[in-house]
């Protein structure tokens, strides 16, 4: 809970720096022709979209999900809308 509150108040670049240093990269997926990278920090799951889909470039967008249950529901919904 505290991590989520602190994470919410960080700038976009601070969030990405924190994810890259303290988080675990779970992989990536393709959505609308863009590569989205998924990270995990404790009970937070975070999707990051980078400029030019390159991890070494700056981040464009960060989407945070709290808990594995929310991540599963979100990914199932994304999967269903892709067909």
pTM for the model: 0.85
Beta strands in 1-83 (DSSP E): 24-31, 34-41, 44-50, 59-66
Distance CA 18, CA 56 (A): 14
Q: How confident is the model at residue 36 (pLDDT cuts 50, 70, 90)?
A: very high
Q: How confident is the model at residue 1 (pLDDT cuts 50, 70, 90)?
A: low
Q: How confident is the model at residue 7 (pLDDT cuts 50, 70, 90)?
A: confident
Taking domain 2-81, whether its CATH number is 3.30.67 is answered by: yes
Q: Nearest to residue 19, comparing CAs of 48, 58, 49, 43?
A: 48
The confidence score (pLDDT) of residue 41 equals 92
The confidence score (pLDDT) of residue 53 equals 92
Contact 10, 22 (CB under 8 A): no
């Amino acid at each position: 809970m505290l991590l989520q509150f602190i994470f919410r108040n960080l700038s976009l670049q601070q969030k990405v720096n924190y994810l890259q240093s303290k988080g675990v990269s779970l992989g990536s997926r393709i959505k609308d022709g863009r590569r989205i990278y998924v990270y995990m920090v404790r009970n937070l799951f975070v999707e990051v979209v980078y400029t030019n889909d390159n991890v070494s470039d700056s981040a464009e967008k960060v989407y945070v999900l709290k808990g594995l249950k929310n991540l599963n529901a979100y990914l199932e919904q994304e999967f269903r809308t892709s067909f």
